[in-house]
Amino acid sequence: MVTSVPPPLDTSLARQVREQFVAHIAGVLSGMSTAIAERLVVLTDQSESTKESHRRRDALLAFQSLSREWTQGTVTAWRKTLTAPKKMPREPMNSTTLELIGTDAVENKILASRLALNMMDKTGMALNELRLRIQKLESTRELASYDVLRPEVTAQLLIDQWTHAGLERFIWVLVQDVVQQHMLETLSEAYKQANQFLISKGVLPEIDLKSQIRFSAPSTINAGFGPDSVNGGLYSGSESKGRGHVYASSGGQDNATTSNSRGRQSDDDTTTPIGRARMRAQGLLGQLKRALGDRAQDYVATQPQDPSPGLVKAINQSSADDIQQRAALGEDADNIVMENVAEGVGAGVARTADNLRERSASIKKQATTSGEKAIIEIVALMFQSILAEERIPASVRVWFARLQMPVMRVALFEPEFFNTLHHPARKLIDHMGSCVLGFDSRAISGSALESEIKRVVQVIEQYPDTGRRVFQLVYDEFQKFLSKYLTEKGTSQRVVTLAQQVEQKETLAIQYTIEMRNMLNSMPVREEIREFLFKVWAEVLAVAAIKNGPQHDETIMLKRAASDLVWAASAKPNRTDRAQVIHDLPALLQGLRQGMALLGFTGEQQETHIKIIGDTLADAFMSKTESIPQERIDAMAERLAHLEDFIIQDGAGDIPLDAASIEMLVGIDTSAIMVVADGGSKPTQAMLAWAQELQPGTWYTIDHSNKSAQVQFVWRSERKQLHLFAAVDGSCYLIQARRLAAYLQAGLLVPHEEEALTVRATRSALEKLDANPERLLS
């Protein structure tokens, strides 16, 4: 009996691929280092304050001194991955052992995760093909956790070596966009060259991905670069939603969502519901590209292509006919569209859908390649899905329908439309759709929001040849419109105004405290006086600065009171100083009472502080306290007078929030405002990052004080510390940043839609093609 022998593993070829890959990406470090230094020079010149300018200059000097160590360390770390470690790395720690990871390691993981996600987004198809070829060479189902070909490994080592070289993390934040740009370009080329090399060696010249498109088996779902990965974790098309969590049905255990607690406690921001949704969406795009590449042999997904002349002529003629027809009808053109909708929602939308189908079929006949036919069919199916979305008001769906031709043109000229979720055409449609989901026709008809959507569509139609540029332009304009539209009505407008004041006050109070601590750090001031200045007087100065301005006479008087108090509380060994204290004391105490009154302190509260201060001054009068030189008091008074010139305008930390402080500051009743202050469970860094990504206009369900409400996110403060949600009944929820993240983490704030409109439309198109694949090229 002959025993079959498995083919030998060609590990030498796989190692050669990795060596070439490391050599290629190492080549970017020199140019990237130069670009980082140039960016830091620009940032230093652009600093708005002297303190920030010094901070950025120090960052530049530090980078110039340590950049060589960073780049050499990174190359060394990347090369070390070429040799398997003697002890295999353990599985990533779960939530129960998360506390064993140091803070620096966690923050590095978060930065690396974000960089890796962007890498995957840019290199998805080439990366997936390389993974399959390496797995074929090594007869393995998954790349090792330490494999440098994995974007998260490349990114993690890059950032670890940054901190290992002694570079601070805040410098990375200043220049991370420069790093990302260079890494994305280099990785794309490196993966491409690796694939070409393996193809030249006969390794999977043709990849059959049909089995992966059917992704019903768990081994297919998790055969990528780890659980729920962008390229390996293909979305199954069905999901069950928990409160704030999404579970992908994969025919087996979903590693990323085994339990709610694991999803909440992990330090990787991709484990949030929105992160998992993005990865599934990116996986869906990967599925789409594979389907196009498999069925349309001449489809090119990596570089722009010029469509055939006949097709371009047909699209241009179709657009010209539309413009000519609307010009002939004049102002009645849009009225006729709306009348068609008004005659019956179903009939009006159905007529629009029929017209689009006929036009798409006509244009498709002019296509000369299978790739062109496939693109036209996919876009047509996507817009059929959008038109069938009954949760969007019929009038808005009709406006969306007019974007089909401009989007088709973009998809034909720019393959990136099918490669990334960040194409401006997708972002525009998704954001407009999320703002109107759930509105009935009566609520949206004639509104400023509908008028803006109409304007956006008309601008795009007027500039059909500009591609993504016009989509990006109107997307930016739509965001500016929303920032005004969502905050100019009733309670929301009033709350935004007071929230801005609250944030300014709390930020100034924190900064004043920091600055006074610095000033008094080496001065022999009694602890009682320090505590009063830090806990009471810093807030007094902040409220005065907000109400009256930092250079108002009353504010200047209150600043001077701080230095006068420090002087009065120092030892008074001579008669002249004691006489001066006696003379100035009534005015000083009056100023202190006036300041405390700004905080709403009652007579009893004031007397408690005045008694403590009086006892300290009595000790100073008898020289029981230490003496402070007059020049130091004068320097403190001068710095306090112009304190706003020295404080940093960002990084003030968390903003405390409560209804009483709002009423005290702005003097209005807050009964219509639900103030959700800090407290509760501690959110993870992932949830904090998610909270900062919420888009204005999107809808959520909030569960607050055992009451559920439908709310729209309408505003985020300039320093991203306060967030405002408006309910349909006019009430508002003002939420501090950490509490917002805690609500997201606990499932008390749940987005209505975790999947974007164009993603759902793409899935619908693929389902139709899966059922009837012949229509793609017919």
pLDDT tens, residue by residue, 78-126 = 999 998 775 544 444 333 333 344 557 767 887 887 788 778 777 777 8
Cα maximum dimension of the chain: 116
Residues 350 and 413 in one domain: yes
Residues 347 and 413 in one domain: yes
**Per-residue pLDDT at 129:** 85
**Cβ pair 716, 723 in contact under 8 A:** yes
For residue 589, tell me if it sits in a domain: yes
- Tokens describing residue 758: 């164009």
Number of other CB atoms surrounding residue 341 within 10 Å: 21
Residues 288 and 357 in one domain: yes
For residue 269, tell me if it sits in a domain: no
465 to 407, 413, 418, 459: CA distances (angstroms): 11, 10, 19, 12
* Across 155-164, 695-704, 716-725, least confident range: 716-725
Q: Provide the pairing of β-strand 732-736 with 673-676.
A: parallel
Higher pLDDT, 523 or 9: 523
**Per-residue pLDDT at 337:** 52
* Across 139-153, 298-312, 486-500, least confident range: 486-500
Residues 637 and 722 in one domain: no
For residue 257, tell me if it sits in a domain: no
Closest CA to 231 of 157, 190, 272, 281: 281
**Average of pLDDT values for 246-257?**
30
For residue 255, tell me if it sits in a domain: no
Domain boundary among 208, 230, 250: 208
- What is the Cα–Cα distance from 164 to 160, expressed in whole angstroms? 6
Residues 478 and 351 in one domain: yes
Domain boundary among 141, 176, 208: 208
**Per-residue pLDDT at 93:** 38
Residues 747 and 765 in one domain: no
- How many CA atoms lie less than 13 Å away from 530 in the CB half-sphere? 13
Residues 390 and 525 in one domain: no
Domain boundary among 208, 223, 248: 208
**Per-residue pLDDT at 4:** 39
For residue 568, tell me if it sits in a domain: yes
Residues 426 and 566 in one domain: no
Local confidence band at 265 (pLDDT 50, 70, 90 cut-offs): very low
Supply the range of the domain harboring residue 190: 6-85+100-208
Helices (H), 27-102: 28-46, 50-80
Packed helices 394-401 and 448-462: angle between N→C axes, nearest 10 degrees: 10
Q: Which residues share a beta bridge with 675?
A: 734
**Per-residue pLDDT at 646:** 58
Residues 452 and 505 in one domain: no
For residue 39, tell me if it sits in a domain: yes
**Cβ pair 293, 378 in contact under 8 A:** no
- What is the Cα–Cα distance from 40 to 176, expressed in whole angstroms? 11
**Average of pLDDT values for 316-335?**
64
Helices (H), 205-272: 210-213, 218-221, 260-265
Residues 601 and 626 in one domain: yes
**Average of pLDDT values for 198-209?**
81
**Average of pLDDT values for 309-336?**
68
For residue 604, tell me if it sits in a domain: yes
262 pLDDT above the threshold of 60: no
Helix (H, G, I), strand (E, B) or coil at 701: strand
Residues 6+ apart with CB under 8 A from 181: none
For the chain, how many structural domains are there in total?
4
Higher pLDDT, 511 or 567: 567
Residues 142 and 38 in one domain: yes
For residue 258, tell me if it sits in a domain: no
Residues 633 and 710 in one domain: no
Helices (H), 222-344: 260-265, 273-295, 309-329, 332-342
| CATH code: domain of residue 716 | 2.30.30.140
